[in-house]
Amino acid sequence: MSLRRIGAESEFRRDHAWRVVLAAAVGCAFGLTALPYYTLGMVAKPIAAEFDWPRAVVQGGITAAAFGVLASAWLAGWMIDRVGARRVALGSQAGLALGFVGLSMQTGSPTLWYANWFLLAVLGVGTTPLTWSRGIASWFDRRRGLALGLGLTGTGFTAFLAPPLMTSIVASSGWRSGYLTIAAGIVLVAMPTVFLLFRERTPGAELAAGTGIIPADGPAPAETPNVTLGEALRGRHFWIIALSFLFICAAITGVNANLVPMLTDGGLSAAGAAGYASVLGLAVIFGRLVAGWLLDRLWAPVVGLIVLVPSALACLLLAWQVAPVFAIALLGLAGGAEFDLIAFLCLRYFGTRHYGKIYAWQWASFTVASGLGPVAFGAIFDAAGSYETGLLVAMAAMLVGPALLLLLGPYPTQLTDRRPGDTSATRHATAI
């Protein structure tokens, strides 16, 4: 067995590394990127009916949250680089729980609704993959793709479990109780898990954690490139990634956030639509793992084509109302891969030293797109009485977005690809 293979396997043998991956998965499951998007569909109709709102107003909460992330992501990234991911995560979890309590107390004012979503995002921005991926990246290098895939699977479990659970709570106790239940889950499950298990790796962290294991490849590796935020903004890689995921995220979140209303409009019961939506969650988990495994073996833009382009077919199938389960599975595959891809691309093209700040701005762009997608779909429905046009636009976006990633070119020179015994200062990482 090669020394490189031994080093790769040793990353997963570190006891504390597994704890970080587990904590990240739970944090993602109860985070800003999962709970709002995979539960809004269950409460959209009851809220619209109670307050006599158009669906675009209800879905507009996601857009307000996107602007909240845009306003605060830079600060979260700076704080992660300065005080560490764990502290930021715990504070943001408390803030996110307060935000959901606020949603349960709505009075029927659209202004208050939008303001609550904005504040929820500002307070909860540290529960996004911005935080969890930083912690995972500090423990993994050669198997970073798979580690990210495992750590970010939490959103898939939320997508699988939240629709039927939220539907049941709303049916029995109302949508306000649903949001209070979410807040309780964050406080009672997610926060203790992150407090006990989530740590960033520093030189000597294994000894400090009491494992007594000194990693075979030395302490947490120094990595090049170490691109600053200013250098990233002046380079093409940053803007190619941002533009690509603008198309990808707007399409995926637009379809997913409206999936349950789309299915119930087609004649399914609320419970039946929630069951279909749970298929999405299983596919998200599968997409996370497949993308993570592939990222350790193939050039990331090629992985993007493999896992994202099939969702264009999914949009077409939903527009034609054909094979909905297969279409939802393809959407889940794409939804599972997008988080892995954007984190992995930032790590490989920009490095880890300024990762918090750089990824924060990428995440802000990602979230704005995620906020515009659902409200655009809602507006299209209000205007046309159908989601067909929106689905066709999403199909085009899922072809253009992944194709743009091919413009990135090879990974920059990576010190982290050195093998034990190498005398060269750097080793080039080939594209394919």
The 3-state DSSP class for residue 140 equals: coil
E-state strands within 286-403:
none
Taking only the tens place, the pLDDT of each residue in 68-103 is 988 888 888 889 888 889 999 999 999 999 999 999
Sequence letter at residue 9 = E
Least confident of 2-6, 49-53, 67-71: 2-6
**What tokens were used for 57?**
């107003």
pLDDT at 218: 44
Rounded CA gap, 313 and 127, in Å? 31
The 3-state DSSP class for residue 428 equals: coil
Taking only the tens place, the pLDDT of each residue in 148-193 is 889 888 887 887 888 889 989 999 999 999 999 999 999 999 999 9
DSSP structure string for 164-195: HHHHHHHHHH-HHHHHHHHHHHIIIIIHHHHH
Task: Let me know the angle formed at the C-alpha of 109 by 106 and 110, rounded to the nearest 5 degrees.
Answer: 105
Q: What percent of the chain has pLDDT over 70?
A: 86
Task: Confirm if 39 and 178 have CB atoms less than 8 A apart.
Answer: yes
> Is 417's pLDDT higher than 60?
no
Domains of the chain: 3-200+221-413 (1.20.1250.20)
Other CB atoms within a 10 A radius of the CB of residue 30 amount to 27
pTM of the predicted model as reported, rounded to 2 decimal places: 0.72
Other CB atoms within a 10 A radius of the CB of residue 188 amount to 11
Taking only the tens place, the pLDDT of each residue in 305-338 is 999 999 999 999 988 888 888 998 898 888 878 8
Task: Confirm if 213 and 206 have CB atoms less than 8 A apart.
Answer: yes
